[in-house]
Amino acid sequence: MTTKAIALKTLTATAVLCALTATAQAATIGGTDVTYGGYVKLDAMWSDYSAGAPAGTSVGRDFYVPSTTPVGNDDNSDAVFDMHARESRFNFGTATLLDNGKTVKTHIELDFLASAPGGNERVSNSYSPRIRHAFISYDGWLFGQTWSNFQNVGALPEALDFIGPAEGTVFVRQSQIKYTTGAWSFSLENPESTITTPGGGMAVTDDASLPDFTARYTHKADWGNFVVAALARQLTYKVGGVDADETSFGISASGMVKFGEDNLKFMLTQGKGLGRYVGVNVAHGAVLNGNDLDAIDSTSGFIAYQHKWNSKWRSTFLYSFFSADNNTDLLSISGDPTESSQSYSANILYSPVKRLTFGAEFKHAERELESGVDGDMDRLQFSVKYAF
């Protein structure tokens, strides 16, 4: 048997053992540590919409996306039931010690959410895998796709919903070059603009001449952590002879405070033209006004408290909000955009063993347009998750 075949057989056997023992370590081959992990999750959701349910193909039926909450006639209440395993994911990583004593790492992660349907719910329920993370890290540098440096993933509360505080959190994964030194990190990230066009439509433009720039400071202590992040970027619209651009700025403060076994997580973000960076793009970055862009100001945030009832039971109580300061002088152009969104949720989670969790969660969400037209959703979700 060749050395390559032996190595492959060793890797396969160790990976199987890894899955059975629920460890992340898969194998060490030729000085490279190979790891494998992820989780399998089933979600069952009963959702009641005050203004009619979104189409079954809507991403808002898979997890809470504020912009998909229908608004309008309160007499059009509609309840729907959905069940899927699309949040399930797996990741693969390597770590190699180099001759200079430093380590180069790689990480790739895939799941099946928000991807173009590869099948249907009649027979196959097939869905295309999508890339979440793919990056290289070396000597303080990161190259590839991962969470934006403007986002504090550690502030996200434990929820059954895929995001949880969807309208209140910065939530972006994208390609970037990031450098971290001590408590500071800086990044150049992929630019993209979402612009409101005449009639209230949306244009997604990818013609910025500069990358998005972020800077972040993280303070860690025994009591928890506190993160401040800043964003500067260029909004652009260069279509049909129009050549418009506008500068966008934002700042976000977030963190976690420990209270014994309990914890409090929070985030507050304010900025001009943040668009896709907050609320899962519940508001666009700017409105096209002739040959100019009018950036949309917004404020968003959340607060979540997690209580440990005992070693196996825990609950998270969450409030999340988003508010846009739309220019009412431009409503004839922008149509009737989202003015605010908010949600409340509470869950109960049970882990009979460390990596297996059963849970139930209730969420109430509301969305209101600038005209005052609104709608809401009540969702009861049940989930089972096993992390490996």
For residues 165 and 344, the answer to whether their CB atoms sit within 8 Å is no
Nearest to 383 by CA among 158, 122, 103, 134: 158
CB 193 within 8 A of CB 286: yes
**Quick one: tokens of 338?**
């989202």
**Residue pair 338/296 in contact by the 8 Å Cβ criterion:** no
Q: How far is the first Cα of the chain from the last one, in angstroms, to the nearest whole number?
A: 31
3-state secondary structure of 232: strand
Q: Left (φ > 0), alpha (ψ -120 to 50) or beta: where does 372 sit?
A: left
Per-residue CA distances from 383 to 28, 84, 234, 360 (Å): 34, 10, 40, 7
- Predicted pLDDT of residue 29: 80
Rounded to whole angstroms, the Cα distance separating 266 from 254 reads: 5
What integer pLDDT is reported at residue 119 of this predicted model?
65
pLDDT at residue number 13: 41
Strands 286-289 and 193-197: parallel
pLDDT of the residue at 18: 44
246 vs 195: CA distance, rounded Å: 11
Which amino acid is located at 156 in the chain?
Answer: L
Q: Residue 25: its pLDDT value, please?
A: 59
DSSP H or E segment with residue 294: strand 292-295
Tens digits of pLDDT across the chain (388 residues) = 444 444 444 444 444 334 333 446 578 887 899 999 999 999 999 999 999 999 988 999 999 999 999 999 878 899 999 999 999 999 999 999 999 999 999 999 999 998 766 667 878 888 889 999 999 999 999 999 999 999 999 999 999 999 999 999 999 999 999 999 999 999 999 999 999 999 889 999 999 999 999 999 999 999 999 999 999 999 999 998 899 999 999 999 999 999 999 999 999 999 999 999 999 999 999 999 999 999 999 999 999 999 999 999 999 999 999 999 999 999 999 999 999 999 999 999 999 999 999 999 999 999 999 999 999 999 999 999 999 9
Closest listed residue to residue 169, CA positions, set 252, 86, 259: 252
Place of tokens 């790739």: 108
The answer to whether 370 and 328 are in contact (CB under 8 A) is yes
Q: Which residue has the tokens 């971290």?
A: 180
Positive or negative, the Cα torsion across 104, 109, 114, 119? positive
Q: Which of 287, 290, 329, 273 is nearest to 202 (CA)?
A: 287
pLDDT of the residue at 332: 92
Widest pairwise Cα distance in the chain = 76
Looking at residue 368, its amino acid is: E
Nearest to 267 by CA among 280, 257, 281: 257
Distance in angstroms (rounded) separating the CA atoms of residues 177 and 143: 5
pLDDT at position 28 is 83
Look up residue 50 and give its DSSP letter. T
pLDDT of residue 117: 64
pLDDT of residue 3: 43
Task: Report the alpha-carbon distance of residue 345 to residue 163 in Å, rounded.
Answer: 12
Across 148-223, the runs of DSSP E, i.e. the strands, are: 173-181, 184-189, 193-197, 201-205, 212-221
Residue 228 CB partners (closer than 8 Å, separation 6+)? 216, 217, 251, 252, 253
Task: Check: CB of residue 89 under 8 Å from CB of residue 38.
Answer: yes
